[in-house]
Copies of this chain bind each other. A is one copy, B any other.
Amino acid sequence: MKKIIFLIMLGLSCHGFGQTDEEMLKQIYKSALLEGKSYDWLKTLSVDIGGRLSGSLNAERAVNWGKAELDELGLDKVWLQPVMVPKWVRGAKEFAYIKASSGETTNVNICALGGSVATNPLGVTANVVEVKNFEALKALGEAGLKGKIVFYNRPMQADLINTFEAYGGCVDQRYMGAVEAAKYGAAGVIVRSMTLNIDNLPHAGSMTYGELPVSKRIPSAAISTKDANLLSSMLNLDSSLQFYFKQNCKQLDDVKSYNVIGEITGSQYPNDYIIVGGHLDSWDLGDGSHDDGAGIVQSMEVLRLFKLLKIKPKHSIRVVMFMNEENGLRGAKAYAKAATEKGETHVMSLESDSGGFTPRGFSFDCTDATFNKVLSWKPLFKPYLIHYFEKGGTGADVGPLKTSTNATAGLRPDSQRYFDHHHAANDTFDAVNKRELELGAASMAALVYLFDTHGL
């Protein structure tokens, strides 16, 4: 009799928390590592398609590819969600040099920042004022800045362990640098690239002119860290040197694009959604492998693993390939708006947009009760060395879906190498490791499985 009760208990534990979860996670990781498709997908998206800035032909190709691949998976629904996106084009390659008082010139590596205006066709030549922050800018005022090129050179803080924190502490220079400098009549803005590496690569990224009238807008470019160090040291010796740059970028009219969405419809709560996603657009200098090709193929892989392992989810599980995260977030806003209009409940929305490196865990925005539930799952992840479960900061694309009761989450891969590649020409397929990418996909599938099984 004792034996029977024991066997019943064993049976029960297989259907509740415990055995089944552990076993299911094992199957998920095993399948992702032995039969994964994320790496092959990434190769196509990165190498065959390439960089895919919103509104570009490549972004359109990526949309078509994404839909076709989802169609292949045998999901319950696959569709395109239209969204108007900004179309900024880089034009002919930028060009810049430092001209010493002696007349000698040194070429440096720059790239126009996303959203920037062009220089005039002959380029801008001006003296340079180096600043570390907006307070220093304000102190210099119009007297010190009019007609000058403002050079923002505050480096990312290398002693912060989380490189995203270091990025957060610097990115105001890139995003707001031009609008702040324009207030004082500056002629242009050069910003130190947002990376901890010292190399020759300029790193792109978005910037804003805020409410600045078109006539007041000044061109804004990123300079490689090596050249930023060079410019700074040359300025120390020769404060009257001049900087020349020429860029040909342009903001065109908005164009129509799409979020790509696929769904496995839930067996018990078909109108309650758990979504996984990343962004399909990328900057144009590299091929967007880490940012965010990795997040796209990992999200696709989650649904593929559910199909492969014949997991029939209770909630509807969607993969969402958001368009235009980089310079507008239009896809995320359109998706959230449609969800609200249709009365869809988004239980948990998981984003992967921090690179395809070894996963360390997840961040969450959710209630304390949900977070405590998540913490109770921690032991299930231990065999996979997933240890990071913290509140706060999930992702840009899932942000608009947040409510007071639901959960959003972000995959947190190892961050050490991310900004070596971020928005630069070396964000390429060869910088992604197959196993690291697959472990991220498996971790996401595991989290989705647990939320689907146990709810909020």
Stretch at the interface among A29-37, A50-58, A306-314: A29-37
Number of copies: 2
- A401-456, CB < 8 A from B: 414, 416-417, 420, 433-436, 439
- A128-176, CB < 8 A from B: 158-159, 161-163
- Please determine whether A358 and B416 come into contact, CB atoms closer than 8 angstroms: yes
A433–B197 Cα distance when bound, in Å, is 10
Q: Would you give the 0/1 interface string for A351-388, flagging 1 where the beta carbon is closer than 8 Å to chain B?
A: 00000001010000000000000000000000111011
Q: Which one of B159, B161, B163, B439 lies within 8 Å of A416 (CB-CB)? A: B439
Interfacial chain B residues near A159, Cβ < 8 Å: 29-30, 33-34
Given known A-B contacts A385-B388, A387-B387, A388-B385, A414 and B358 have beta carbons under 8 A apart: yes
Q: Is A49 an interface residue (CB 8 A)?
A: no
Interfacial chain B residues near A161, Cβ < 8 Å: 29, 383-385, 439
A414–B34 Cα distance when bound, in Å, is 20
Interfacial chain B residues near A30, Cβ < 8 Å: 159
Q: Which one of B34, B360, B433, B434 lies within 8 Å of A385 (CB-CB)? A: B360
A319–B29 Cα distance when bound, in Å, is 39
Interfacial chain B residues near A196, Cβ < 8 Å: 435
| Distance in Å: Cβ of A154 to nearest Cβ of chain B | 15
Interfacial chain B residues near A385, Cβ < 8 Å: 161-162, 360, 388
Question: How many residues on chain A are close to B (CB under 8 Å)?
Answer: 27
A416–B29 Cα distance when bound, in Å, is 14
A162–B382 Cα distance when bound, in Å, is 12
Interfacial chain B residues near A420, Cβ < 8 Å: 433
Interfacial chain B residues near A158, Cβ < 8 Å: 33-34, 435
Interfacial chain B residues near A197, Cβ < 8 Å: 434
- Please determine whether A417 and B433 come into contact, CB atoms closer than 8 angstroms: yes
Interfacial chain B residues near A163, Cβ < 8 Å: 435
Interfacial chain B residues near A416, Cβ < 8 Å: 358, 433, 435-436, 439
A181–B380 Cα distance when bound, in Å, is 43
A161–B29 Cα distance when bound, in Å, is 9
| Distance in Å: Cβ of A447 to nearest Cβ of chain B | 16
| Distance in Å: Cβ of A397 to nearest Cβ of chain B | 25
Interfacial chain B residues near A34, Cβ < 8 Å: 158-159
7 A-B pairs in the complex with CB atoms less than 8 angstroms apart: A29-B159, A29-B161, A161-B383, A161-B384, A163-B435, A197-B434, A416-B433
What are the nearest 6 A-B pairs in CB distance?
A387-B387, A30-B159, A33-B159, A416-B435, A33-B158, A416-B436
20 further A-B pairs in the complex, CB-CB below 8 A; given A358-B416, A416-B433, A416-B435: A29-B159, A29-B161, A30-B159, A33-B158, A34-B158, A34-B159, A161-B384, A161-B385, A161-B439, A162-B385, A163-B435, A196-B435, A197-B434, A360-B385, A414-B414, A416-B436, A417-B433, A417-B435, A417-B436, A420-B433
